[in-house]
Amino acid sequence: MNYKHFTLGVEEEYMVLDPITKELKSHEQRIVIEGQKILRDKVKAEMHQAVVEVGTDICADAHEAFKDVAGLRGNIAQIAGDMGLWVGASGTHPFSHWGSQLITDHHRYHQIVDELQDAARSNLIFGLHVHVGMADRKMAIHLANSARYFLPHVYALSTNSPFWEGRLTGYKSYRTKVFDKFPRTGIPEYFESIEAYESYVNLLIKTNCIDNAKKIWWDLRVHPFFNTVEFRICDIPMTINETIAIAALFQAICAKLYKLRSQNMNFMIYQRALINENKWRASRYGLDGSLIDFGKETEIPTKALILELLDFIDDVVDELGSRHFINFIHTMLERGTGADRQLQIYEATGSMTNVVDYINSQFLTAD
């Protein structure tokens, strides 16, 4: 079966840090300006000035995505270092307060802040977005409907935000709790067709809820302008290999669901309310809790369900050429997520500044 149209695009949001205070630091878009000289439009500003967003080219496979992400991280770290700054990858900063952070001077961001007020000002979070290419939008909405079920499983692997404003939150991913204040977030509804989805978008535009479909910030969406399914639920992972393993997993989920569809088989569609139960568990406990197997109507340890997911996708992984990166998920299960490692540093030292040191030290890791 031909899976060549399941291309990958990876977007990451990095935090800019003061190496002395370890606080988030406005770079006044200097990193973006310098980065664009080398990387062109692969580097962008974000709403808060302490954030740098990057995006890969369209990558044929996970190996291309790895090279692109490693190059982006390396270039941004070098540019920041030349300015006396650090960068890091964590879903939230352990102790910086959003109230002291500057908003980027751009009409789009001013518009969002004007509409959403403190929900936007406080949205000081860092995520991973993975685009998987689609042959057409009709297939995209079908795959998105089915892929919703797996969002909590992959999200649990990505959890990397246990702290917020100097507090130990008790969550493995507090980032999603911050983002929940935005409208049109979370697990999307089921749409029976691409026409039904587009009708929904057009109604929101017609009634002045949004001016374009990019203001639909669901955990998973058929992209409004590209032929991709965009997975948006994950915290930004701490290391390069974690990012690519997660991207490869999303790609493999789409390929497996496509294979089933091609054989006139469908994966079970579950209600948004049920999937939300698993999302909450993943946010709270990461890999250490249990998720609900809705087919068996019972709780299963999250790690066991992820192993089942790896078995489910196994027959498409070699054709996608991503076996190396999918295998790394076993390492992630063994050593824990970014949140687990942040908590280990904090428990060992009692210092959130040491946690920031660790986050920075892991930014270019590709083990």
184 assigned to some structural domain: yes
18 assigned to some structural domain: yes
28 assigned to some structural domain: yes
Lowest mean pLDDT, pick from 97-111, 304-318, 328-342, 353-367: 97-111
256 assigned to some structural domain: yes
300 assigned to some structural domain: yes
Lowest mean pLDDT, pick from 4-18, 27-41, 102-116: 102-116
Cα–Cα nearest to 161, from 244, 284, 269? 284
User: pLDDT digit string (tens) for 283-299?
Assistant: 999 999 999 999 899 99
Number of domains in the chain: 1
Residue 228 bridge partners (DSSP): 133
Q: Assign 231 to helix, strand or coil.
A: strand
**Is the pLDDT score of 238 beyond 80?**
yes
196 assigned to some structural domain: yes
The two beta strands, 163-164 and 167-168, are antiparallel
| φ, ψ at 55 (rounded to 5°) | -145, 140
User: Token pair for residue 253?
Assistant: 């989920």
317 assigned to some structural domain: yes
**Side chain identity at residue 68, one-letter code:** D
* Per-residue pLDDT, 294: 92
307 assigned to some structural domain: yes
Q: What is the CATH number of the domain that holds 196?
A: 3.30.590.20
Segments forming the whole domain that contains residue 166: 8-361
* Per-residue pLDDT, 103: 76
